[in-house]
Structure 1
């Protein structure tokens, strides 16, 4: 381990970075984990945004962009990460423990926010793998249920064990005091597993084509740019494929400057 957080050294904040303490770590399986850090009193973000996060390696901050999984009102900042054995940051980050220190960027940003979408009646959050993270923030936000009559979260993974947060999402956020009443009526969770037996299998595109994604959801069993809004986060292949399909169906990509019918996180794609 070369990062200073594990060698007993205190990290020093900079103009762009604060130093935060790890509050807890949860390992979902051998290549997926969640953790939370302290939240600076001045730190503000919109549900769905990302921030730079990292460790000190060989005397310098090593940073990567991480979507914030916690609600915008939460007292702590929560993140979801994969473990990459030879990854410059994640190979170290996966070994963090409660009490360790991390660098946190002071300026969150991003395009996976409600402000980048036009008003609509249904919001579809389509994710693969750790692309779930920004949507965990969004579905915990009371404002999202005021903006959309239905919120449908689709999470596609390879194995059942990769369905992080499954119990919480299957309960329709029953333990969340701020959104539990709205989520019970408006929130739909659609997990799908592509490489193991599960009640729902197939990639997201398949679930759209065969109507599986719309089961239990009010309205037509298809995506309509007149009423539906879509957010995409996850693998590059999924984003490219579904974004192209949405464009064919008449959806227009939105941004903070010009709201549209669907959004992707441009910082991660470009």
Structure 2
């Protein structure tokens, strides 16, 4: 199953297009795309019972973030061995967690204003929580995931690394620095949900490519580790980490500039496309 946020309304995607959930359910479910996660089991049961739903074609540029107003957005650093190596750091014994403030979230298409001359790209698989998780064992981690989407953990490296202590959350939370989309795909849709290719292109040039099978801490392991500390709530996001190829680790270093087009792709989900503008 695939769901999306179309102009701020929850839609179910079918081979024929988009089905407005509020209208199709006779207002049983709200049009609010975030509200569905609190009723995930009820919603998926309803959606599974639909017979030949009438859907409408739509312009994908109208899509917005699949979970637009989460209470918590977690980022995980150094979660790929090759990225830890290019950062000159050892492998973590536990997830290196920071937060991206929810105000940074944006949709899968459109423009993003740069904040300076050192804004970097980081393709990520993003897990969206569908059932509250507290002290969940890793073997049950997937049971609490509503679905997966693509994400970019855009990072202003100057802000992020300003001392004396790094400011990861601030450096990664400017407006637009958390694009997600183009839609949410439920875990059962994937042939192997633990082994998905993800990639980044800048102006048509491949700059990142990896597979989620190389994650140090997998999606269910992250659910377990995080839920051991605090409750994960329906609609919360987990940015699971990025593979090697970030601009800061290159020689010479390379960062995003006004006019650049960033294409973010995750296998089995789809692609996002963003154009960068001068700092506002």
TM range (shorter): under 0.3
With a CA cutoff of 8 Å and minimum separation of 6, indicate the structure with the bigger relative contact order: 2
Using the size of structure 1 for normalisation, the TM-score is: 0.27
Using the size of structure 2 for normalisation, the TM-score is: 0.26
